[in-house]
Amino acid sequence: MTIESSTSTPAVSVCNKDIGSLPAAFPFLSANILELFLLTGKHAVVTGGARGIGYVISEAYLQAGVSKLAIIDYSRNDEGISKLRAEFPKATISYYDCDVRSAEQVQKVIETIHEEFKTIEIFVANAGIAWTSGALIEQPDDAEWNNVINVDLNGVYHCAKNIGKIFKQQGKGSLIMTASMSAHIVNVPQLQAAYNVAKAGVLHLGKSLAVEWAPFARVNTISPGYIATELSDFVPDDIKNIWYSLTPKGRQGHPRELCGAYVYFASDASTYTTGSDLRVDGGYCSV
């Protein structure tokens, strides 16, 4: 077999980049490591940001210098939002009521925030609910399954689809999605197949979008372990004691112990980090 040579360079594309344009340019980065972690002047959106993990992410971003923050939630927390506004009077802090299960609501609220903020550098798709219904085959219908999948997976998809268009238009952005250690392992003793499936979907969606969006944005996931928020208040102590025994750290995590991961992925300290997942689980997945 003879391969004919050509004087022209073929247009080869790898991960949406032409070979002829490689290597891509380095970003401009501060020489000061601490400055790389600052979010000074950036604009951020956090879904599920009024309570629990989302609230401490919102607070951490404001502490790191975010100048405009939009909190999207389905359950308003006026006391918490007022506290943030009092603590950070120079920042613009907006609240939007939105059901992430609704593609139309998500599209509208993201477009509204973009119109108000002009740019959005950081988007955290964090809104989620727990599965509390037990064994899958004992469900009387598909309602609970559909609800968990629609919030925990499809809600993230709706957010990603709409913020991705804005990131591409801007040529920059960081999408951070809350997965779970349940995306990596099967929790015991509780039975929560729907939740595990939804979070595994989020994990792989993050990797897939990281490749699709590599020319213009970064996508990463964070996988918390058992975190002491109201999301797990319904769990009896005997079940929690089993959790502690299976977790090398011997306890649940405090929500603030997640903040460093979310700041890292949002900041210029992680400009070469995309398609990654950071487990913050007290060592649970290591055993």
Active site residues: 180, 195, 199
d(CA 158, CA 239): 34
In Å, the largest CA–CA distance within the chain is 75
Judged on CB neighbours under 10 Å (0-12, 13-18, 19+), 112 is middle
Pairing of strands 13-14, 122-125: unpaired
Instruction: For residue 213, give Cα distances in angstroms to 137, 175, 237.
Output: 38, 10, 43
d(CA 125, CA 157): 9
d(CA 98, CA 155): 11
Residue count (the chain): 287
SS in 3 state form for 25-81? CCCCCCCCHHHHCCCCCCEEEEECCCCHHHHHHHHHHHHCCCCEEEEEECCCCHHHH
Report whether the peptide linkage leading into residue 189 is cis, meaning its omega lies within 30 degrees of zero. Answer: yes
Report whether the peptide linkage leading into residue 23 is cis, meaning its omega lies within 30 degrees of zero. Answer: yes
Residues 6+ apart with CB under 8 A from 38: 64, 65, 267
